[in-house]
């Protein structure tokens, strides 16, 4: 009868090779996550400067800047959207587009430079609100021109710039009404990431902020102090803060109001007003009040799914390790 070889499971667990493999398997999710984060950082964004080089074709080599819509303008080809792509993906995309007009084209080199690009967000009463990108530091006038100018309802006197400093938003009022009579704009130097807000003209609402304005923070486009001196519907106040964010929980807005010398917090469901027109979901907010717009919570089903997937991955690793050390 053929004897079975002896198995020493305890000794196999002390095998250096097995331990190294186990560490690699356990570390793999972390490494993948790190690679995904690095890949995300490497993706092209509006404002990035691209140096396109086509060997042997100097007429096709050029420097391009990705516009706010995420596209570059290539002569004869037209606009090509490259934002969100890696440099390699963008290079392949540009080569395929160019080969439609130059079939013999073989190689396209693309170099990305991020230095010098300054991003400014413009919201409110302008023709083209959104992200504006500049190769240098723009003036307030240049930012307004890039945004298409102010519409008829824009309040130039009440404009303000929001800048985050040490994690706290700082509000600076900038009177831009000089554009109407040829006066100079305020000598204000913009920085990368600033937000310029052009509020709407509101009858009875002053353009100079009151010390008792409404503090708005949380799930809104811009955490700020909305300057009012008289009661205003909650939704109007939120719109002056750039409107609720996409992931805002409009059913849970905490409204802090002082009544009789005592501050009271009320939970407001704004969706009652938005979906049913119920005025209870859009109460009047007063100077000195505070609004906190909460964010939507992650559904518990997603958490359970994550736990189950993690457990399944761990079991798979342990089974594979067991087979490795015992075979």
CA-to-CA distance for 32 and 13, rounded, in angstroms?
26
Closest CA to 325 of 20, 3, 2: 20
pLDDT tens readout for residues 76-118: 888 999 888 888 898 899 889 888 888 888 888 888 776 556 7
Q: What is the mean pLDDT of each run of 10 residues along the chain (327 residues)?
A: 49 50 49 44 74 86 82 88 87 89 86 72 89 81 88 84 82 81 76 88 50 81 80 88 84 87 87 89 90 78 61 73 69
pLDDT at residue 283 in the model: 92
pLDDT tens readout for residues 192-210: 889 999 988 754 444 444 4
The DSSP secondary structure of 246-286, one letter per residue, reads TTEEEEEEEEEEEETTEEEEEEE-THHHHHH--GGGS-EE-
Closest CA to 237 of 161, 164, 291: 291
**How far is residue 179 from each of residues 74, 140, 148, 184, 268, measured CA to CA in Å?**
35, 11, 14, 7, 40
DSSP state of 118: E
CA-to-CA distance for 34 and 122, rounded, in angstroms?
33
pLDDT at residue 114 in the model: 62
CA-to-CA distance for 162 and 194, rounded, in angstroms?
6
């Amino acid at each position: 009868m053929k004897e079975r070889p002896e198995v020493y499971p305890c000794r196999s667990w002390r095998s250096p090779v097995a331990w190294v493999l186990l560490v690699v398997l356990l570390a793999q999710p972390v490494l993948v996550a790190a690679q995904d984060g690095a890949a995300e950082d490497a993706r092209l964004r509006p404002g990035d400067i691209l140096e396109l080089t086509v060997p042997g074709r100097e007429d096709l080599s050029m420097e391009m800047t990705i516009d706010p819509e995420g596209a570059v303008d290539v002569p004869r080809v037209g606009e090509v959207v490259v934002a969100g792509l890696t440099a390699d993906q963008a290079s392949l995309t540009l080569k395929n587009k160019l080969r439609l007009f130059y079939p013999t084209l073989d190689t396209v080199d693309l170099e990305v430079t991020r230095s010098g690009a300054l991003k400014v967000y413009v919201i409110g009463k302008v023709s083209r609100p959104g992200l504006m990108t500049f190769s240098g530091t723009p003036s307030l006038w240049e930012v307004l021109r890039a945004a298409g100018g102010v519409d008829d309802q824009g309040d130039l006197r009440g404009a303000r710039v929001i800048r985050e400093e040490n994690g706290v938003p700082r509000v600076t009022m900038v009177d831009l009404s000089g554009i109407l009579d040829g006066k100079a704009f305020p000598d204000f130097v913009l920085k990368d990431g600033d937000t310029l807000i052009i509020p709407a003209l509101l009858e009875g609402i002053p353009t100079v902020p009151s010390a008792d304005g409404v503090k708005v923070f949380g799930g809104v486009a811009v955490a700020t102090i909305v300057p009012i001196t008289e009661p205003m519907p909650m939704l109007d106040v939120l719109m002056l803060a750039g409107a609720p964010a996409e992931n805002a929980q409009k059913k849970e807005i905490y409204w802090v109001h002082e009544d009789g010398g005592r501050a009271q917090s009320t939970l407001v469901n704004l969706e009652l007003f938005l979906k049913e027109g119920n005025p209870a979901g859009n109460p009047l907010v007063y100077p000195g009040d505070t609004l906190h717009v909460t964010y939507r919570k992650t559904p518990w089903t997603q958490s359970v799914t994550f736990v189950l997937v993690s457990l399944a991955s761990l079991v798979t690793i342990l089974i594979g390790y067991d087979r490795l050390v015992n075979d």
